[in-house]
Amino acid sequence: MITKKLPVLLLLCLLATAGFSQSQTGSLIRIMVSPAKSDMIYPAGEEILFDVAIYKFGKLIPQAAISYTAGPEMVEPTHSGTLTLKDGTGKIKAGKMNAPGFVRCKVTYTENGITYENTGTAGVDPEQIQPTTKLPEDFREFWDAKKRELAAIPLEPTLTLMPEKSTHHSDVYHVSFKNVSGRIYGILTKPKKPGKYPALLVVPGAGVRPYQELHADKDIITLQIGIHGIPVNLYQSSLYQDLAQGALANYNTFNLEDRERYYYKRVYLGCIRAVDFIFSLEAFDGTHIGVMGGSQGGALSIVTASLDNRIKYLVSYYPALSDLTGYLHGRAGGWPHLFKNEYTNQPAKIETSYYYDVVNFARFVNIPGLYSFGFNDNVCPPTSMYAAYNVVQAEKTLSLFKDAAHWRYPEQSQEGDQWMLKKLGVK
């Protein structure tokens, strides 16, 4: 019996191994570029140096000929040149920055007709970065009025059990509820055991996609929402791709010229409505609730915490939509880089941005928060993120993963989850 089973088991192992190996990828040439200072931070006016090394098969490449550019992130570089790395390593002089910000160095190496590149980024007195956006005098009044409009709309929630997603510990539902216009859809995870539980609202990054259940093995209610007013449980559907490339392409610019009609109005209010929905749940303990997300979700975490005093804790990874007007002042602005071209550099659109810039919401955050991002982010520039972080007056923790770009290390995600769950009293 044992000998007959061995070939089957061996075949299964080989198939599993083959599938696993096909899912991995790597770069033949690895470029390491990093600020020479161990903390990656320089004072204003000091010469900035970058260490660079080129590897192949884990070994330094002697006589590696590189090209490089360097300068303030996301704008035209101020330095460029070529360099031959005698033993595969060297230093690049990137000049000085006389004001707080970030200097980015991009290194390029070509071998056998294939070009490889990587970047490193140095901070220059980042804790001194101040925002360029303006705080409108009627900012709070504007949003208070919008919240009153939202409160007048009935919630009208629907919950549809998803047996295929539910576990022995938790039930999973596809849910929806009315927003200021249309509906908000999400995935709700709720423990099966009767009782009162804390809750976590997870707000989404940019794009159009379905969502999954979260923390289905823990004693916590989680709600992950989409922002576009469409169901988020069509896992095999091409609908999301079709919308992302069609009707919802560039949604972040829709009606930017009008603060009453800008796309993110219903998005920001939809996050508040998601909190309303959580408070309507009998299983919610009525007190312990947090919000978290990354990129667009990092922005929405700050916005939700600022607008809704029922939120007690927030985690924000690399927040987008921060200091949007940076480009108008010769430095990097936050995603979605609205004012980098003449199409959006119009007075009415700039004025609208003041009411939606995460910096202006960050000013009014009054709860503990964990903020986490990297210097090398090429989507949400650290200059823009520091502009938001630096104006937060509440209890705050900044966890830097300095070489990270627009992604998270597993340890970074674990840190955020553990911080939030501990705050909410979840083991």
Q: Residue 52, by phi and psi: left (phi above 0), alpha (psi -120 to 50) or beta?
A: beta
Does 67 participate in catalysis according to the annotation? Answer: no
Compute the half-sphere exposure of residue 219: CA atoms within 13 Å on the CB side of its CA. 12
Neighbours of 136 (CB within 10 A): 15
Closest CA to 135 of 400, 382, 401, 391: 391
Place of tokens 């769950």: 421
Per the residue annotation, which of 295, 306, 372, 384 is the catalytic one?
Answer: 295
Non-local (6+) Cβ contacts of 127 within 8 A are 100, 386, 390
What are the φ/ψ torsions at residue 186 (nearest 5 degrees)?
A: -165, 175
Q: Which of 308, 357, 377, 403 is catalytic?
A: 377
| Torsion, Cα of 295, 201, 372, 137 (10° steps) | 70
Sheet with 114-124: list strands edge to edge: 41-42, 114-124, 101-111, 64-72, 79-85
Respond yes or no: is residue 377 known to be catalytic: yes
d(CA 393, CA 408) in angstroms, rounded, equals 25
> How many other β-carbons are positioned within 10 Å of the β-carbon of residue 378?
15
3-state secondary structure of 418: helix
Clarify whether 174 is annotated catalytic.
no
Catalytic residue among 174, 215, 228, 406: 406
**Active-site residue list:** 295, 377, 406
